[in-house]
Chain A
Amino acid sequence: MNLLNSIHALSPSLQSLSRIAGDWWLPKGASTFSPEVRFLWILFFVITIFFTALITVLTVYFCIRYRRTPSRQHADPSPDHNMPLEITWTIIPLIIVMVIFALGFKYYMNMNVPPTNAYNIGVKAQKWAWTFTYPNHAVSSTLYLPVNRAVKLSMTSSDVLHGFWIPSLSIQKDVVPGRVMTIWVKPTRVGHYELQCAEYCGNGHSLMRSPVIVAAPEEFNEYLKAAANIWVKNGKAVPLSEVGEDLYSTYGCNGCHTVDGSAGTGPTWKDLAGSQVLLANGQTVTADYAYLKQAILYPGRKLVKNYGNIMPDFYNDFAGPAHTRQRRLNAMIWYINTLSAHANAASRPKVPNIPGAAPQASPAGGQGTTTTKTSAAANSPPLPAAMVAMGKKLYFSMGCNSCHTVNGTHLVGPSWKNLAGYPQALTNGKTEIANYGFLRDMIINPDQLIVKTYSPIMPAMYAAQLAGGAKQTKKLDAIIWYINSLSDRRSAATEPPAAK
């Protein structure tokens, strides 16, 4: 039936086929790059058709003209080499390909140099969804672009390679994890296009597509306003749980977590809130608010049994300013609660679902059972997100990542995961708790104290970059904040002191 239906659906596509063949096979271009790409493409097309036709015609002609017959058993005499001729047919292809090379390079450089006044959009790729962030903090799963304005896209991947590919806008770039990839485009025609993942990324690769809407400036602003203001619709406050439902698809949670109890890459959200969860380490915890929050912000900490530690990092989307990011977190947890029959006061956020209303009473009569062994980290005040983010950036830009992992595996140096607050055995026989002072000394005077089983090979140059003035100290603290964010034993002793 599937086949029959689609054969039926074929006739409109056949019409589109004839249209496409008319535009030299390419989709109708909609960016400033498109005409250049199209010009070189047509040049290639004409050259290819000419030579392929020439070779085919010569082949067929020779086969007929010089066929072997009973009366013509031998070849006619003709030379078996001719230097000038052979040099000619070496030089001509050489000239043709050099012209194509030069044009290809010229147009490519245009694609590579974004104008300085470009509008910035952040792109996050994960298995198997795209999320876009705009300067006004709006987040969307549809890519909105203003027409006739240069846009620079800064792209990151939270897991594997992805490919950012919009055929109509003539742009493509791989999104490599661990790097920020940039690409720019200036759309020239309003319309609806599609973004498709071009670099193979696993099961959902072919479904990793997003709509792209190129709009006139006013319309574009409307889209952005709507995307930013997910909290209010038609002048009325939207219940947090409904916002959470939107975010569930915006952030691509639906790629791994089902809401109907069926199996997925991650645990289903149905009947999750308030239930007992069996962890990979054998413990059982109750999925209360603190647990759900931790599961979103630090997915690897309390891994659910039978699931891998593969959830992308959403820390920067859900931790931080109370009015935006933390609100999103609460919306998400409210949504998870509405899906569960076990939801109770302990599993719901402290803020009311409908803004302005009083907190709902627990139907279980307040016997909220939080058997979770709350760690020191859970009791600590929230991390300063900006400092953590800065530290994370430095972790990559200063090259810390070449020796220190953040997931517990060991490279040349100790992992930063669960480092802060944990006792460290040193080569001098002593054991010290990795508190703030210890961490600072380790970074600035790396050769003074060496953690057991490691070698004194850390470069000493960091002292110059991280000690001395206020700027340097801020960087150092940012790194230590980041190290703290990776530990479940952080405390006032391990965190940097308040700014002087």
Chain B
Amino acid sequence: MTTMSIREADLAVGKKKNYLNQTNTIWSWLFTLDHKRIGLMYLTAGLTLFFIGGMLAEVVRTQLLVPTGLIFHGTGTIQSSYTAYKHYNQVFTLHGIIMVFMVLVPMIPGALGNFALPLMLGAKDVAFPRLNLFSFWLYIFGALLAIASTIMGAVDTGWTFYTPYSIDTSTYVVLMVSGIFLLGFSSIFTGLNFIVTIHKLRPHGMTWFRMPLFLWATYATAVIQVAATPVLGVTLLLLIVERVMGIGIFNPALGGNPVLFQHFFWFYSHPAVYIMILPAMGIISEIVPTFSRKHIFGYEFIAFSSLAIALIGFMVWGHHLFVNGQSAELDAIFSFLTFLVAVPSAVKVWNWLATMYKGAIQLDTPMLYALSFIILFTIGGFTGVVLGALAEDVVLHDTYFVVGHFHYVMFGGTIIALLGGIHYWWPKMFGKMYNEFWARIACVMLFVGVNLTFFPQLMVGAYGMPRRYASYLPKYQPYMVASTIGAYIQLVAFLIMAAYLLHSLFRGKKAPVNPWGSGSLEWTTSSPPPTDNFDTIPVIGDHYDPYDYSHLQFDPAIGGYVQTEEHVGPHHVDH
């Protein structure tokens, strides 16, 4: 195990078969059991849906350039306005459904988790490869059902499907909800698979506290996926039962209780917020130490804070119901727990900063995304704290402040981390480097665009503008215009990103085994890895530490990092 052998692996990669070119029929992709191919298919499908959801967001922003609506507006009578605004309502509903259920929830576990998790464990695959494939196809069929419902009569309920409106509306709620039901099962199966994989397929020597933190985050996420998603499934089934059979569960006209729906819905959907943000935090916990070349600070605090967030996150759903007549006692308890869950998130931010302290920081694209994440997530987190304060929620509930807050967390947090993860693992996925210059430009543009889009939304929300408005009072216009300009800047950033990533796929420089100098196991196999992940089974010693960078040295000849002679890190043995 010398520098030479790794260099040989690098040189040999051009001739060697890897998971991308092992077989090349369409069926070998569609029915593959290889976690890496399934991950790539998730990535492709997810980015396609992200593009659709993003374009819908641009439609929303364009509509709101003028107080009466630029795209959908009436022709003078109030009835014509109603008819026009219905289309706007359909657009923002679809934007929400696609982004939440088809991008934010499944993308990081499905695409990056699937690709990286077995590699980080030094394993050949996940514990149940067939279940993994099934889960991917459930995702596809769920998305297809949602698209079918959109073509037949796009739902206009908002992504929350609040009753009794979702029971009254004439749009295709049942079909859409069936699609989300399937997506839910896809999520459950992925979570189950990851839990078993992490329990059973860790290599000898990798104890729980020697796992990369991305695995801790994925594990905590998987626990929520398995425990909370069934509640969503049951809730949506009840909604279908009520719509199809007229059995009164949520509709007061039939003796039902509309607030019950809100409790059921948020019992899933609040933990779902942590399904979206925990894996994102896991990615940041990988990127920050790698690009600082310094051991992660407070490993155990970060690991336990993931679990704490997952557990407390189950008990805060009632903070979505502060103004709907819930008893003041319940309000107080939910408010208290909401503040508790803010603390472990704050702990992580300090730990990332302490990791950078005295590090050797290199601002490559993944690191730029990680820094964006830290700042945007801080704003998202603080605006969440003020929403948790009961008296403040009264004046901010259902306003654009809430919209700004969750976009800071969901876009500034999850999507930025997802993009950071894609840029981080891209060389491993495809064996190609991307253009670093344009990647940095796009990242900075995105940071500016996100702030310009969502900061004015915080301001206009505090000023009193309600969310889900197709038209608004003229005094809110300056904020709305600024926000829309921000959304256009984001669009340009994404177009640049698409261009250099496509360029990388076809013309990109060949990637070395370990371009960033990371210490976890996926960076010890070739880029891209062979179908079986490792040519030789990685054996890790009792001193394995994924955040130890002392044995890695940059080699300008291959543009990547290699292990020095006296390394104590992982090594490989022959079969």
Enumerate chain A interface residues (CB-CB to B < 8 A): 2-3, 5-6, 9-10, 13-14, 16-17, 20-21, 24-27, 33, 36-37, 40-41, 44, 47-48, 51-52, 55-56, 58-59, 62-63, 66-68, 72-78, 80-82, 85-86, 89-90, 93-94, 97-98, 100-101, 103-112, 128, 159-161, 163, 165, 167-168, 170-174, 176-179, 181, 194, 196-207, 209, 254-255, 258, 260, 262-265, 308, 310, 401-407, 409, 411
Contacts and interface: CB of A to CB of B under 8 A. Distances in A.
Given A25-B459, A109-B328, 15 more contacts: A6-B66, A10-B478, A20-B463, A40-B391, A48-B383, A55-B374, A62-B361, A63-B371, A90-B346, A105-B332, A108-B328, A202-B89, A204-B82, A406-B253, A411-B254
B293 A10 contact: no
A161 B254 contact: no
A97 B344 CA distance: 12
B70 interface: yes
A405 B248 CA distance: 9
B353 A104 contact: no
Contacts of B542: none
Interface string B331-360: 110011001101100110111011011111
B360 A66 contact: yes
Interface stretch (B132-140, B273-281, B295-303): B295-303
B394 A111 contact: yes
A161 B257 CA distance: 11
Contact of A2 (B66, B397, B479): B66
B32 interface: no
Contacts of A204: 78, 81-82, 85
Interface in B45-67: 65-67
Interface residues of B, number: 115
Nearest to A201: B165
Nearest to A167: B464
Given A55-B353, A161-B162, A204-B85, A89 B347 contact: yes
Contact of B394 (A108, A255, A263, A403): A108
B86 A203 contact: yes
Contact of A203 (B89, B332, B383): B89
A207 B471 contact: yes
A100 B387 CA distance: 11
B378 interface: yes
Interface in B422-454: none
B464 A258 contact: no
Contact of B474 (A13, A67, A202): A13
B248 A81 contact: no
Contacts, number: 343
A141 to B, nearest CB: 13
A264 B391 contact: no
Contact of B164 (A27, A81, A177): A177
Given A36-B391, A75-B292, A205-B89, A44 B255 contact: no
A258 B89 CA distance: 22
A163 B323 contact: yes
18 contacts: A48-B382, A80-B298, A89-B346, A100-B389, A101-B339, A101-B388, A104-B393, A106-B391, A111-B391, A159-B168, A165-B398, A167-B399, A176-B259, A178-B253, A198-B466, A205-B468, A255-B78, A401-B252
B28 to A, nearest CB: 42
A55 B374 CA distance: 8
Interface string B352-388: 0110111111110000000100110011001101101
B324 A55 contact: no
Nearest to B337: A101
A77 B357 CA distance: 10
B23 interface: no
A90 B89 contact: no
Contact of A68 (B293, B351, B388): B293
A72 to B, nearest CB: 6
| Best-buried of B68, B247, B399, B466 by chain A (most CB within 10 Å) | B466
